[in-house]
Each structure stands twice: as C-alpha cells, then as structure tokens.
Amino acid sequence: MVEIKTPAELERMRRASRIVALALDLLKKEIKPGVSTAYLNGRAESEIRSRGAVPAFLGYRGYPAALCVSINEEVVHGIPSDKRTLREGDVVSLDLGAVYGGFYGDAAVTVAVGSVPPERRRLMEVTEESLARALGAVRSGAKLGDVSHAVESFVAERGMSVIREFTGHGIGRRLHEEPSIPNYGRPGSGITLKAGMTLAIEPMVSLGRPEVVIRNDAWTAVTADGSCSAHFEHTVAVTEDGCEVLSRA
C-alpha cells in the first residue's frame, strides 16, 4: 500500500526536505581539494540539528554517520572518514536525509572537485538530467514504470549504465516506504501514481558496467569494474499535473 499524505504531513515533509536541500547547498560550497569527508559529515549534521531536525541516516540499520559521501567508483553509502580527503578531479556524491516532526526528506547531489575530465562532467550532467526526465514523467495517473523508463532510456542512449541493485523509494513517516522505484522499467508498467504520494527518486549511473560490489566496511557500494559513478536524488510529492520538488532550497 502506498500512503497518500495529508496536507499537514506534506508540510512537514517540505520542512524536512528543505533542511536537507539547504544543508547540501552549504556542503557544495565546502567541496575543494584537501577537505576530509568527516568534516563534511560534521557540517551536515550540525546544519540539520541547528534547523530543528534530526539526521535520518545516523543509526539507520547501523549506518554510522549523518551523510553518505561516495567518491568516483563509489556509487552510494560511502562512510565519512577523517582519513579520506577530496582530490582535484574527484566526482563526489553527497547523500543526506533529515527527519522533521516525524517526517523524512532525502536528497543527493554529485559535485566536481576542482576541474574534472570531460567524460566525468558528462556523467554528472547525464545523471542530473536523467533525474529531471524522471520528474517530468511524474503526475497523477502516470505509471511508475514511466518514471523508471525515463531514467533508463535517457542514460542508455548516452552509452552509460543505470545501477540496478539500488532503487529510489516511497518516503514519509519512514525513510523507505513503498513503492520501490527502480531506475529501469517498462513504460505503462507498475502502480498508478496518485496525488499526495511522496517519492524519493534517485538515479545512480556509471560510465562503465552496472554491477556493484560492497566493500569490507559493509556499506560502501562500488562499481565492480571501477568506473566512475554519479547520483542525484530529490524527494517529491505527486500532484494532479506533475510533481512538487520538496528538496529544492
């Protein structure tokens, strides 16, 4: 069952998601060579708490931080560390969640550290645009498969791969609710979207093959072939004629 949120619930999700968006905007400005991923995590956590929210990922299934920082071949769930510092040319994904008044917001962006090679720039552009295409497919009456297909087709046509082992998700009173939202699928398949559903849509794309493996830390997902990957995510509410992006500052 996919929950339909009330206007009051949507208001809390707006607050939670906006706090995430503001924190991500702040983090983007901190991205430069030499910065440690633990520093970014600390900034993210204090920004969330200072706005009256709670980090959503900290302690989730034992995850040890507020922020996921995934660099280059790391796809998602990179654990911040004071031993890991950003380098010129890195592609860094920042994934952050917050809870406000019992409701969740979740978003991710990928940013370049200094100047990055054209192929990596293109990866970031294609991944971000694939999210835009997905959002463009969301509206009351559309099928979930239309959204999934919008990502997959856009990415495949550009010679890149969608990661299949992780998906987007419904979101609200919990970080992960129904439905699961794969970044691949058939148009016209899946559930029918309805106004008031809230979704976290999150394409993960690699320059090489789609397979991932999990590192020994039990969290960090990396591409099996070592190719670079990118990740963008927004929390959105389905409306009659489209969607409202909740995680935009």
Contact residues: ligand MF3, CB under 6 A: 57, 60-61, 63, 68, 77, 95, 106, 108, 169, 175, 200, 202, 233
Residue 177 interacting entry, from ligand MF3, Co ion, none, C-beta within 5 to 8 Å by type: none
Stated as kind and residue range, the H or E segment containing 56 is none
- Give the contacts of 53 (CB within 8 A, at least 6 positions apart): 15, 16, 19, 98, 99, 100
In the bound complex, what is the minimum distance in angstroms from residue 241's beta carbon to ligand MF3?
A: 26
112 with 127: CB under 8 angstroms?
no
Does 221 participate in binding Co ion (rule CB under 5 A)? Answer: no
In the bound complex, what is the minimum distance in angstroms from residue 236's beta carbon to ligand MF3?
A: 14
In the bound complex, what is the minimum distance in angstroms from residue 13's beta carbon to ligand MF3?
A: 14
Q: Which residue, 154 or 232, has its beta carbon nearer to ligand MF3?
A: 232
Residues 185-214 contacting Co ion, CB under 5 A: 200
Q: What share of the chain is helix, strand, coil (3-state, %, to 5)?
A: 30, 30, 40
Closest CA to 171 of 162, 180, 163: 180
Q: Which residue, 60 or 209, has its beta carbon nearer to ligand MF3?
A: 60
Stated as kind and residue range, the H or E segment containing 137 is helix 118-137
Q: Which residue, 103 or 113, has its beta carbon nearer to Co ion?
A: 103
